[in-house]
């Protein structure tokens, strides 16, 4: 049955999956949501015998219904290949009574790779399906991590170019090195003389420049965005929850139909929303445990029904979760409002006006699948040390937030359901925080000494993504002022 996509903010006619992927965000500012969540049409037993790529096809075909089998399989094959350092793509490790689903074996050793490695292929396929002949130009402002993951995803993908602007003095040395060493003739990385907000404002301005859009169209280009709210990033994230269940079943660790809980370290709410969709497809998931760091807006929301961003922004050791507005939550709000775009729009208007909204008791009752809690910086460090000492397994700071919240959940509920923890980054990505958590004595070492020490402690080979930073030559050295960004784009495109 065909799945069409509605905006969360209007009753406008729904569009096809490929159109939603091309548009990213709806014109009314809303997010695209499927008109229904399709049920899995393969049994859990059948799925248990499949590879990651095969499971991904079984899930994605149900959501992206206007893609042909050949198109979808082609996208999947190009995304989940030797860019990942393991054939199984998302391995599972058992440690401290939980299954850690390792989503960090892609090119940038963090979970954004799971979606950003396939998005470019979904985008160009969508463009071709909609008779768009133009080359797709991805324009991104980054404060660090997403820029590199997008670059790695789009590099050398025919029919696309990618331009990343970052604040020249506003990212870590490692993040900068990761970006400026990016290979691929279709990539451009530029450090701007300004902060992240300047970069983002500049990019938005270029996006909404009608003159430029016209000129680009004449020369065979058009902009698109790799934004985290794109349906083309959400749907690929559902696959690994189904895969993890299938894998646990095939290894005899759970019985067919047995419920599992899922814990997700959450920022923008994209990853846990994918788990929610997996549950709605019929995957036997019990609780969806939403783990926050000290920016605990979501914990407060699940407890009180009040979403309130008016609070101090905390910088933590899990920076990818330092977020006060979780954009993907809007998709859940729309749904618990009974797919009521008007109600959702009112709440979102309150969020942008007063920084706050309150859901009704009726809506709150729809949230019973979720459990929210948070971990302090101290609790995060303590669980890294504990799991290392108990099991020799080393987790990163984001995954540690989830592990700490899972401990609280167990203490509170005595729920002994088998549990999958979404492990969103390699410990090698946040080496200093991780090693400091294990022992204060590491503080004196350099970053690369720490990398080697971590490799020894965890008995894990240093990932390629890190080795490359040590040795790869710098290929991007362009810098510009904020008001030169448009010029830089035009030069790169030769217009
Ligand atoms: C982006 C990110 C998260 C948060 O995921 P959301 O989908 O935004 O909730 C958690 N951990 C890491 C390492 C990330 O990069």
Q: How far is the CA of 215 from the centre of ligand 1 (A)?
A: 36
Residue 359 lies in a domain: yes
Strands laid side by side in the 370-374 sheet: 92-95, 98-102, 419-423, 260-265, 285-292, 370-374
Residue 155 lies in a domain: no
Query: Which CA distances in Å does 389 have to 77, 393, 424, 435?
Result: 39, 8, 21, 13
Residue 356 lies in a domain: yes
Predicted TM-score (pTM) of the model is 0.95
Query: Of ligand 1's atoms, which has the minimum distance to the CA of residue 270?
Result: 7
Residue 327 lies in a domain: yes
Which of 271, 289, 397 maximizes ligand 1 atoms within 8 Å of its Cβ, making it the mutation to test the pocket? 271
Enumerate residues 6+ apart whose C-beta is below 8 A from 412: none
For tokens 């922004």, the residue is 313
Give, using CA atoms, the residue closest to atom 11 of ligand 1.
Answer: 424
Number of domains comprising the chain: 1
What pLDDT is recorded for position 187?
Answer: 97
Query: Which CA distances in Å does 207 have to 18, 27, 204, 210, 489?
Result: 20, 13, 5, 8, 11
CA distance 331 to 277: 11
Q: Do the Cβ atoms of 324 and 313 come closer than 8 Å?
A: yes
CATH number of the domain within which 353 lies: 3.40.50.1100
Q: How far is the CA of 425 from the centre of ligand 1 (A)?
A: 9
Residue 326 lies in a domain: yes
CA distance 182 to 269: 28
Query: Of ligand 1's atoms, which has the minimum distance to the CA of residue 269?
Result: 9
Q: How far is the CA of 262 from the centre of ligand 1 (A)?
A: 15
Residue 54 lies in a domain: no
Element (H, E) at 134: none
Residue 365 lies in a domain: yes
Structure-token pair, residue 320: 């990818």
Instruction: Report helix angle 377-391 to 397-413, nearest 10.
Output: 90
Give, using CA atoms, the residue closest to atom 15 of ligand 1.
Answer: 320
CA distance 338 to 322: 30
Element (H, E) at 98: strand 98-102
Q: How far is the CA of 20 from the centre of ligand 1 (A)?
A: 22
CA distance 62 to 41: 9
Query: Of ligand 1's atoms, which has the minimum distance to the CA of residue 399?
Result: 11
CA distance 423 to 319: 15
Enumerate residues 6+ apart whose C-beta is below 8 A from 234: 115, 270, 273, 274, 277, 328
Residue 413 lies in a domain: yes
CA distance 345 to 6: 13
- Ligand 1, CB cutoff 6 Å, lining residues: 110-112, 145, 265-271, 320-321, 398, 424-425
Blockwise average pLDDT, block size 10, the chain, 495 residues: 96 96 91 97 98 98 98 98 96 97 96 96 95 94 85 94 93 86 96 89 89 95 87 97 98 98 96 98 98 97 97 91 92 97 97 96 97 98 98 98 98 98 96 96 93 97 90 94 96 94
Beta bridge partners of 100: 93, 421
For tokens 């790869």, the residue is 472
Residue 215: CB atoms within 10 Å: 14
CA distance 5 to 1: 13
What pLDDT is recorded for position 41?
Answer: 97
CA distance 158 to 155: 9
CA 126: distance to chain centroid? Answer: 21
Domain span including residue 260: 92-107+232-462
Structure-token pair, residue 376: 């302090």
Q: How far is the CA of 321 from the centre of ligand 1 (A)?
A: 6
Q: Is 23 a catalytic residue?
A: no
Give, using CA atoms, the residue closest to atom 1 of ligand 1.
Answer: 320
Give, using CA atoms, the residue closest to atom 8 of ligand 1.
Answer: 268
The residue annotated as part of the active site, out of 16, 112, 287, 296, is 112
């Amino acid at each position: 049955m065909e799945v069409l996509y509605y905006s969360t903010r209007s009753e406008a006619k729904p569009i096809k999956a490929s159109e939603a992927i091309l548009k990213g965000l709806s014109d009314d500012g809303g997010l695209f949501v499927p008109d229904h969540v399709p049920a899995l049409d393969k049994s859990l037993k059948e799925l248990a015998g499949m590879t990651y790529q095969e499971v991904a096809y079984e899930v994605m075909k149900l959501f992206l219904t206007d893609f042909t089998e050949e198109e979808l399989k082609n996208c999947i094959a190009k995304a989940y290949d030797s860019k990942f350092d393991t054939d199984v793509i998302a391995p599972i490790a058992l440690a401290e009574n939980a299954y850690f689903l390792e989503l960090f074996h892609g090119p940038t050793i963090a979970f954004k790779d799971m979606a950003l490695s396939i998005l470019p292929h979904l985008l160009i396929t969508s463009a071709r399906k909609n008779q768009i002949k133009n080359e797709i130009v991805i324009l991104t402002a980054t404060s660090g991590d997403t820029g590199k993951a997008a670059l790695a995803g789009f590099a050398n993908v025919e029919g696309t170019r990618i331009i990343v602007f970052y604040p020249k003095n506003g990212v870590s040395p490692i993040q900068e090195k990761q970006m400026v060493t990016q290979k691929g003739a279709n990539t451009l990385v530029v450090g701007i003389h300004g902060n992240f907000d300047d970069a983002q404002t500049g990019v938005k301005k270029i996006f909404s420049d009608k003159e430029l859009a016209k000129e680009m169209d004449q020369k065979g280009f058009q902009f698109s965005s790799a934004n985290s709210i794109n349906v083309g990033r959400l749907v690929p994230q559902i696959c690994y929850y189904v895969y993890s269940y299938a894998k646990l079943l095939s290894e005899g660790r759970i019985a067919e139909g047995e419920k599992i809980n899922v814990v997700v370290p959450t920022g923008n709410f994209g990853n846990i929303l994918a788990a929610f969709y997996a549950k709605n497809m019929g995957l036997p998931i019990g609780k969806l445990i939403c783990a926050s760091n000290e920016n605990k807006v979501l914990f407060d929301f699940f407890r009180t029904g009040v979403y309130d961003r008016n609070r101090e922004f905390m910088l933590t050791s899990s920076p990818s979760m330092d977020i006060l507005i979780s954009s993907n939550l809007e998709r859940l709000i729309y749904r618990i409002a009974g797919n009521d775009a008007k109600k959702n729009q009112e709440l979102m208007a309150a969020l942008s006006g007063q920084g706050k909204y309150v859901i009704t008791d009726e809506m709150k009752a729809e949230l019973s699948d979720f459990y929210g809690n948070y971990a302090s910086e101290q609790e995060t460090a303590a669980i890294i040390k504990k799991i290392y000492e108990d099991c020799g397994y080393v987790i990163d700071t984001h995954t540690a937030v989830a592990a700490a919240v899972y401990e609280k959940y167990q203490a509170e509920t005595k729920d002994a359901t088998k549990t999958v923890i979404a492990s969103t980054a390699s410990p090698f990505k946040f080496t200093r925080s991780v090693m400091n958590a294990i022992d204060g004595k590491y503080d004196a070492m350099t970053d690369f000494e720490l990398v080697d020490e971590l490799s020894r402690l965890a008995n894990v080979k240093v990932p390629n993504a890190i080795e490359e930073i040590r040795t790869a030559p710098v290929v991007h050295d362009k810098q510009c002022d904020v008001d030169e960004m448009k010029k830089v784009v035009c030069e790169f495109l030769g217009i």
